[in-house]
Structure 1
Amino acid sequence: MRKLLRLLTSCSLVLGLFLQIASAATRLEARIVDDASGAPLAARIAVTDVHGKFLEIDGKHEHVQQLNKRWCYVDGSFALPIPDSGVTVNIRRGLETRPLSETLPGQAIDKSITKTFRLRRWTDLRAKAYMSGDLHAHLPALANAPLQMRAEDLHALNLLILGGLPLPNDNSFKGKVDEHSGPDCQIYLGQEVIDWHLGHLTMTGLKSLVPGYPAPGGTLEYWTSNPHLDIMRAARATREQNALVSWAHFENLPGAESPVAVALGLLDAIELPTWSDPMQLPAHLSPWDTSGMATAEFTPMRGVDLYYQYLNAGFRLPLAAGTDKSGEDIPLGSNRVYVPTKGKVNYAAWVAGIKAGTGFVTNGPILEFDVEGHAPGEVVEFGGRKQIKARVSARSILPFTTLEIIMNGRPVAHKLILVQNQSPVDGIYSMQVDATISLDKSSWLAARALSNPDITPRLMARESSVFSHTSPVYFLEAGHKVREEASIVYLRKYVRGLLHWLATKPAFSREEDRDAVQRDAEQTLRFYEGL
């Protein structure tokens, strides 16, 4: 009896294996090409069966999660066995190419399918002399970066080295564009300096790494705790190398020293977004929690609104963006910054465009913003009163609800259309807003597109919404800087909160660091009090 049971069990296993092979015997051999030129294209693909289950393709591939799917990166071709019930193939390539989704039936007789998928651009910003890049990423490993960049239609990448947090690229710093780069994929290894209370800095274009930051400073309660560090020393050292310094993931961790870095002229840009949603409150609220002030007296702000306070205090501060990619939870370049590079296609031109504030950040919508013939980054002087016309258009492969023109932190033009009431043309959502604006004082103007999370799902990684924002155009009456008193008062409170925290004697790695942070804070408060 036992022998019979063993025989039946063996037969069942063999039969099950046979049926599994038979039901997945159809083989798909696929190519991905550019529809216009026929050239092979790198892309990311997600193949699912009729039940929505992810199917792995042949070979070894890097993966990423987005839009509730698991994607594989491929370089122009892929293959896999598919069940007789068929599959759905989804293909994406950055923000400027129409997504493709196609259902393929299985083949009951012919067990081989050869298929060419043709991807169509809806715009080509590279042809318009723009470069797009991810300013803040820790992965992928250098060997995998070029393919992922080409698959995401990304031209520039700053891969960051961190002290005390081992990463695959730690020993690869060269102080120049990396040898893995190509004409369309420029890669530079930069550095991130971290203090969990004071803030994080992103640096790129360094000729040598800034020493003295062997591990992150400060406390992240659920992870690590170390004495605090003087991060402004790193900013100054980066400036001495004529490299770029940006405030990392400002919308998530604005840090206690961001008003210091801005006031002392040590920042080239603010990253917004990098980690989370700029239209929501930061996750790290320690500058407010340790300020010694009640919430009603010193109220936390959304990341985008806090950025506006600096503009309202007269600073010309460009936007940048990155992904903080350190795993499979977000595609490289999902948040990116576009800048015009005047025909040059190299890393230095992209960095120069960020510093000049001539572009826009986005995780989907492509913005075109014009104010009386002036573009982001331009400074225009006028006298007395001035009436200006502004126009912004937004187009996107991802749905969005809202398009606005912002002046000194307040919308002066606004359009909202529910996604279900929009009619995308050939897969592209679009809006345009025009406004006539009267100026009687110095002002900055910018445009933003977003998806209102109250009426649309949060589509992007880390529970973020679709978002795009230009750097400002500045109109200065008689050359005077923008001065909004309420914003200046708020920034004074911010610095007083930092000084209050310093008075509690938090631990620093060196007394020199404590003294330097104290001096910088006192100098910054005097600066804001003098505005």
Structure 2
Amino acid sequence: MFFVLAGSGNGLRADGDLTLHVVDEASGDPTIARMELTRQLPVTTRRTARPKSVSARPRRAVSSGPGFVIDESAQMSLEDGAYQFKVTRGPESRVLRGNFLVERNSADEHQLALPRMIDMRQHGWTSGDCLVPRSSESLPMRMTAEDLHVARVIGITDEFGRGKEKPIPGRRASEFFAEDGQFQTPDGWPTSPIWTDAESRCVGGLVFYGQHTELNEVIGSEVGSTDELASLRALAKLPTDTSIRVAIENPFGWLLPIWLASERIDGMFVLGDWLQLDQPIHRIKDGRVVASLDRKDATQLGREVEQIHWQLMEAGFRLAPLAGSGDDPGNSPVGYNRLYVAGRSSASSFDSVEAAVPVTSDEQWWQAAWSGCSIATNGPLMRTNLNGFLPGREFTFSTSDPLADPEANVIAELTAEVMLTVRDPVEYLEVIHNGRLHYGAKLDEFAKAGGRIPPLKIKGSGWATVRVVTLYEDHFRAVLSSPWYFQVDGSPRITDRSVAFFQEWLGDTEQRLRQLPPEQLKAVAPFVRVARKFWADRSELAAAP
């Protein structure tokens, strides 16, 4: 798309005035989107150390990552020159790119029709960002510009919401907040529903989700602490009957094997702040990363987290995969890393197809997230099932099942179904079974096969997941299903290789902790002893026949 803002000839302004309107291509209705706008610098002003382009935005606009929110329309006064723009509305819409030229004393008006690829909520899947840093920029506006339904902000409800954000240009607070101060979606709002909450606290690599009163009792003075040891103290104070959920926000954390040994962890971020839009990240500032990572390959951090998640499942853990912005504000738009969850329709038998149904409240969304009925993505979109069942489902089998094939040592055969919607070029689609590749194909090969995937042959307890990885090079961009689990004769899958992986991690952590001052080392020693015994016991379970 290219257009020129021609000069008006009135000689009153040196800048050009541009008004842009954004509408939904299918309906023609005004919508809210995010725009990235850059101006190409004239050759005469370029220097070696200067960029060839600079970002531009209206003076009064809601900032959102590397861009700003277009609230149905935007009026801009721009310097003359050549501009490039990109307009998008989250992963469910196509990216609209174009160029325009501004001439002195020009004025023009244009409409941009934004095409939608898919409406995931209509298919039963509702998007959310599991951890959003606090910002004075309007969260409802930023969520709508990304077509995001759920956001959990770091902090507490008393500090969030009305009066804590900068005024929205052209909007009144009464449009968004009821008399009791609770957020409400205005009539005709482009993204509906929108649910926001702030009942979460970050402590030393963990995030605690719960009610304000409970969080205060458990965490108290640990709020905002960067001390890793504070996370251990907070875990130790969790009551046995608490409703608080705990997730690993930093999967590279040195204390990860000790956190796991507490047996109080409910989830882990598989997509987080190590993945930021247009921000290649090669190292993390606080955590253990394998030395073999290549600084030239920005995708490796994301792949490393995926491997850690697989090792967790191979060690017998079932942690809900989460995705979100994380606790590092960075420069990504809200919901760049996101989790889609679905409610389950009731399936009457093993042969029934389990349909995805939209959740109807924030509470239902989180219930689905913690149960693993979810898909994590920072780009491609996927709907998938295994034998008609949505992700997170546990299949139970017995070796005495009449359908089992003793000669082939196969207890059951299960078939995965995958439906994709992608914008980026895709590298491959894979089905992973117990950490090994069961099926892998490029999309054209997958299409030639009629979208059919060979059935999984279940021979013992374990898990399976589906993933699609893109060719994007700035970082790991993919869509990952939550796992399905298989339980045979009531025996969990625990491998000695994965237990040894975390025992080695624990050994490296102990070496690091020995550098602490004596008082701090004394405080952490009981947690280390518990972790040693936990992993030794798990090693015995892995060795058991």
Q: Deviation at 1:489?
A: 2.5
Answer yes or no: is 1:121 the counterpart of 2:116.
yes
Give the direction of change, closer, same or farther, for the CA distance of 1:276–1:505 in structure 2 (3 Å limit): closer
1:181-206 CA-to-partner distances (Å, cap 9, x unmatched) read: 645221111344433xxxx1112233
The amino acid across from 1:161 in the alignment is G
The amino acid across from 1:447 in the alignment is V
In structure 1, the partner of 2:332 is 330
In structure 1, the partner of 2:244 is 243
In structure 2, the partner of 1:410 is 436
In structure 1, the partner of 2:32 is 42
Q: Distance in 1 between matches of 2:516 and 2:20?
A: 63
Q: Distance in 2 between matches of 1:204 and 1:286?
A: 22
The amino acid across from 1:158 in the alignment is R
In structure 2, the partner of 1:283 is 284
Give the direction of change, closer, same or farther, for the CA distance of 1:248–1:406 in structure 2 (3 Å limit): same
Answer yes or no: is 1:201 the counterpart of 2:203.
no
The amino acid across from 1:394 in the alignment is L
Give the direction of change, closer, same or farther, for the CA distance of 1:206–1:181 in structure 2 (3 Å limit): farther
In structure 2, the partner of 1:12 is none
Q: Distance in 2 between matches of 1:506 and 1:204?
A: 31
Q: Deviation at 1:138?
A: 1.3
Cα root mean square deviation, aligned: 3.8
Q: Which runs of 5+ in 1 are unaligned?
A: 1-17, 220-227, 290-299, 425-430, 459-463
In structure 2, the partner of 1:179 is 182
Q: Distance in 2 between matches of 1:235 and 1:435?
A: 46
The amino acid across from 1:272 in the alignment is V
Q: Deviation at 1:98?
A: 1.2
In structure 1, the partner of 2:77 is 81
Give the direction of change, closer, same or farther, for the CA distance of 1:530–1:49 in structure 2 (3 Å limit): same
Give the direction of change, closer, same or farther, for the CA distance of 1:506–1:439 in structure 2 (3 Å limit): farther
Q: Distance in 1 between matches of 2:422 and 2:11?
A: 41
Give the direction of change, closer, same or farther, for the CA distance of 1:366–1:497 in structure 2 (3 Å limit): same
Q: Distance in 1 between matches of 2:336 and 2:231?
A: 31
Answer yes or no: is 1:91 the counterpart of 2:84.
no
Is the 1:502–1:518 contact (alpha carbons within 8 Å) kept by the matching residues of 2? no
1:281-337 CA-to-partner distances (Å, cap 9, x unmatched) read: 873686589xxxxxxxxxx99221111111012222221011126445211111111
The normalised TM-score by structure 1 is 0.74
3-state SS in 1 of match to 2:500: helix
The amino acid across from 1:333 in the alignment is G
Q: Distance in 1 between matches of 2:19 and 2:112?
A: 11
In structure 2, the partner of 1:390 is 416
Q: Deviation at 1:155?
A: 1.1
Answer yes or no: is 1:156 the counterpart of 2:150.
yes
Moved more, 238-247 or 91-100: 238-247
Give the direction of change, closer, same or farther, for the CA distance of 1:122–1:360 in structure 2 (3 Å limit): same
Is the 1:206–1:241 contact (alpha carbons within 8 Å) kept by the matching residues of 2? no
1:344-364 CA-to-partner distances (Å, cap 9, x unmatched) read: 332212211111001111100
In structure 2, the partner of 1:213 is 222
Q: Distance in 2 between matches of 1:83 and 1:287?
A: 47
Question: How do 1:267-346 residues align onto structure 2 when only pairs under 5 Å count?
Answer: 267-276=265-274, 283=284, 302-324=304-326, 326-327=328-329, 329-341=331-343, 342-346=357-361
Q: Deviation at 1:144?
A: 1.2
In structure 2, the partner of 1:8 is none
In structure 2, the partner of 1:356 is 371
In structure 2, the partner of 1:4 is none
Answer yes or no: is 1:466 the counterpart of 2:477.
yes
In structure 2, the partner of 1:266 is 264
3-state SS in 1 of match to 2:363: helix
Give the direction of change, closer, same or farther, for the CA distance of 1:433–1:507 in structure 2 (3 Å limit): farther
Is the 2:199–2:212 contact (alpha carbons within 8 Å) kept by the matching residues of 1? no
Q: Distance in 2 between matches of 1:122 and 1:95?
A: 9
3-state SS in 2 of match to 1:161: coil
3-state SS in 2 of match to 1:353: helix
Q: Distance in 1 between matches of 2:509 and 2:37?
A: 51
Is the 2:261–2:535 contact (alpha carbons within 8 Å) kept by the matching residues of 1? no
The amino acid across from 1:338 in the alignment is Y
In structure 2, the partner of 1:15 is none
Q: Deviation at 1:373?
A: 1.5
In structure 2, the partner of 1:527 is 537
Q: Distance in 2 between matches of 1:185 and 1:489?
A: 44
Q: Deviation at 1:96?
A: 0.3
3-state SS in 2 of match to 1:491: helix
Give the direction of change, closer, same or farther, for the CA distance of 1:77–1:137 in structure 2 (3 Å limit): same
Q: Deviation at 1:234?
A: 3.9
Give the direction of change, closer, same or farther, for the CA distance of 1:150–1:280 in structure 2 (3 Å limit): closer
Q: Distance in 2 between matches of 1:361 and 1:311?
A: 17
The amino acid across from 2:269 in the alignment is E
Q: Which runs of 5+ in 2 are unaligned?
A: 1-8, 42-51, 165-179, 186-191, 291-300, 344-356, 400-409
